[in-house]
Structure 1
């Protein structure tokens, strides 16, 4: 298993079950390991990973939660912590998050606060988690006031990415990752966007060589951005491109719209805004619309929500300042607009409404 970003990176790529690094991290000064997973991923992999850990002399406990955003709550976090206390887990416990973004976000938040902090390893099993959710140290839960409104910035001890997990990934979950991958290209790397444009058929066919390339490149981009701004007080805000609208859509749809689908619509809406205010050229907006529309056609997810409900949800966005809704603005494909070291900017309500109307109607 190789370190794929740089010698200081916490990300390892390859076969998890032959990784000596994985086992050594679970053993070093640890009295036990707690594996947190969901009932879907657990039904596929929990027996294998528990047996692997036990066969290496590691005391291991399993905690399983219902799959999906329904579990990403303060109440679920409390239940997990109470279970760990009942197991007498102390600071010498290693936590493992086995699953997608909901599991890594939730487990990361538990690990950040349990006994004032215990180490955690992420094993992402979804493509979306491999390329985005597991990278950067964001943890958290949803509340009635919005998505990820309570959480921490806490990096895992390591991330072990094994693409063999993608074989069992349902088609909708697999396709949902495309929007985050495209986002990385849009905000940072024109050549990467060209590569995605020219090889979208390889994405749809799950070409393993292609998948390795895009997972590594997306991780490189996110690691590079996060390294300059771990706490999201500056440059890291560009990773929110498409997410201002996306998070509001998820909330307005009662989390029945997948994160990946919401981000796809969010990228279109926020590209519409950039084009409308005179930054993103028409030709580039059309290219963005074309590639994301291909993904949305495969996902076949329509938005059934009112503009007003989405606008209401936007009021709780974490980037808001002085009660004004702020957006990352794309200047060109691969380049974000910045002004006075600010990476997110207030936009007129009328233009925001237009952008939401555009994605609902189209």
Structure 2
């Protein structure tokens, strides 16, 4: 088992990565220091893996809340329904929440944990590639609003992150590809050697070879843990993790949450950011080609929706939470392995790229 740590002083916590961790009770139960446990999951994960979780928690006082599956349920309505259920069962600060699912469940559960009685413990047990490499680590919790993604939330760290890579065996191809968009992002912004490794191992990754999956997840978690330890609340370095997200969040909001998966929108956003960089001579044409080709290799979109142009993008991006002093801030790659955050993108250039 690979164990990493997110170093945040008294809020530090471990990340465990291995196959079949849901069959190893001590890994999870050592972090349950409360009398009650509430598992928050969705209908798909409950059918696929719910029996394992129930067996894992056998003998404890456990309540399970099962939500519908989909990005559209990462909402204030779902937040309210979970809070209402916690009140009904008289959950208190002696209750630990377990987020058992993908990024929607993890973000929603973390936000509930941050708010309920001003903060109760929670544990992340992510079951999708995207949540395992990205959203379960770092303490960003939120729900969406029709006018913007992740606009209502809090920074709130989990007690632990437990990643069972065997859950990826049942992950649909489209969901797996969406997770690879976030994986590729790490190579673009931070680790050129990792990007090259992904190019060399794409066939094995598409075949979901366990050894390769564990290497990928471990490296992504290492990078994110290192960045979060230096910049927990995104005042500087951590903003690089938003590569592709300013454009991508606009796509998700315009197309309707759930119609484009988050990773699909991020993939298109990465290419748009890279095209901006290439037009400004910050990124070479060959690097742009490599980025586009690797995303295409995992069946990810590399252009904006056909029905979405400059005005639609700007309408949503003006509401992005990274806007400062009415200026939209973008993460722009400068080579494979490095990127910058800038608000120095001319409106004319955006019109050209988003036409």
Common fold, TM-score beyond 0.5? yes
Contact 2:39 2:62 in 1 (8 A): yes
Structure 2: distance between partners of 1:300 and 1:332 = 18
Q: 2:66 is matched with which residue?
A: 64
Give the drift of 1:2.
Answer: 4.2
Q: Does 1:4 align with 2:33?
A: no
SS in 2 for 1:25: coil
Q: Does 1:136 align with 2:138?
A: yes
Structure 2: distance between partners of 1:212 and 1:273 = 33
SS in 1 for 2:183: helix
Q: 2:121 is matched with which residue?
A: 119
Unaligned 5+ segments in structure 2 are none
Alpha-carbon deviations, 1:53-101, whole Å to 9, x = none? 12xx210000011101111111110110010110011100010000000
SS in 1 for 2:299: helix
Once superposed, which parts of structure 1, at least 4 consecutive aligned residues long, lie more than 4 Å away?
Answer: 5-9, 299-302
Cα 1:197–1:2 change in 2 (3 A) is: closer
Give the drift of 1:296.
Answer: 3.2
For 1:80-99, what aligned pairs fall within 5 Å after superposition?
A: 80-99=82-101
Q: Does 1:310 align with 2:308?
A: no
Structure 2: distance between partners of 1:31 and 1:241 = 41
Structure 2: distance between partners of 1:217 and 1:320 = 30
Give the drift of 1:203.
Answer: 1.4
* Correspondence for 2:234 among 232, 247, 250: 232
Q: 1:324 is matched with which residue?
A: 327
SS in 2 for 1:223: helix
Q: 1:282 is matched with which residue?
A: 285
TM-score, reference length from structure 2: 0.94
Q: 1:344 is matched with which residue?
A: 342
Alpha-carbon deviations, 1:18-54, whole Å to 9, x = none? 141311222x2x1110000011111112222123212
Between 4-13 and 311-320, report the one with greater CA deviation: 4-13
Structure 1: distance between partners of 2:120 and 2:13 = 19
TM-score, reference length from structure 1: 0.92
Contact 1:100 1:126 in 2 (8 A): yes
SS in 2 for 1:122: strand
Q: 1:18 is matched with which residue?
A: 24
Q: 2:190 is matched with which residue?
A: 188
Contact 1:176 1:260 in 2 (8 A): yes
Structure 1: distance between partners of 2:122 and 2:210 = 28
Contact 1:252 1:305 in 2 (8 A): no
Structure 2: distance between partners of 1:230 and 1:136 = 7
Structure 2: distance between partners of 1:300 and 1:220 = 27
Structure 2: distance between partners of 1:37 and 1:253 = 25
SS in 2 for 1:83: helix
Structure 1: distance between partners of 2:169 and 2:235 = 37
Structure 2: distance between partners of 1:155 and 1:348 = 37
* Correspondence for 1:47 among 37, 40, 51: 51
Cα 1:146–1:325 change in 2 (3 A) is: same
Structure 2: distance between partners of 1:316 and 1:203 = 36
SS in 2 for 1:266: helix
Structure 2: distance between partners of 1:144 and 1:83 = 24
Between 304-313 and 269-278, report the one with greater CA deviation: 304-313
Alpha-carbon deviations, 1:175-213, whole Å to 9, x = none? 111110010011000100110111111111111111111
Q: 1:294 is matched with which residue?
A: 297
* Correspondence for 1:150 among 142, 149, 152: 152
Q: 1:360 is matched with which residue?
A: none
Kindly report the root-mean-square deviation, in angstroms, between the aligned alpha carbons of the 2 structures.
Answer: 1.7
Larger relative contact order (C-alpha < 8 A, sep ≥ 6)? Answer: 2
Contact 1:311 1:353 in 2 (8 A): no
Give the drift of 1:149.
Answer: 0.2
Contact 2:6 2:225 in 1 (8 A): no
Structure 1: distance between partners of 2:162 and 2:97 = 13
